[in-house]
Structure 1
């Protein structure tokens, strides 16, 4: 929907990038840097949350359904 509205007004992705002063290559580099930064943090969070969830799952009362 947004793409249709932008196309109606003649706005392109290249034009938006040029207006904010970012090249497609720089945008790809920023996305890569964000991924490299986020991946260890997501894995660290999973290393903490998954065992806590598993222990809570093991010790819930019998016959209780998670909804």
Structure 2
């Protein structure tokens, strides 16, 4: 999750870097945790989409392999 990027930005690292050398408020900590949870959920959804795509690709390949050649 730490490595997750949006565009060129490593989101969690950038958030902390932008607040370097000062104590985070409770509100900022809660926001950071919320962002981390959103990233975690996004990664889960992306994996699910990848799984669906991979299954579809395998099924299509198998279907094409079984198609009689004319």
Range into which the TM-score falls when normalised by the shorter chain: 0.3 to 0.5
- In the superposition, the TM-score normalised over structure 1's length comes to 0.41
Question: Does 1 or 2 have the higher relative contact order (CA < 8 Å, sep 6+)?
Answer: 2
Structure number having the greater helix percentage? 1
Structure number having the greater strand percentage? 2
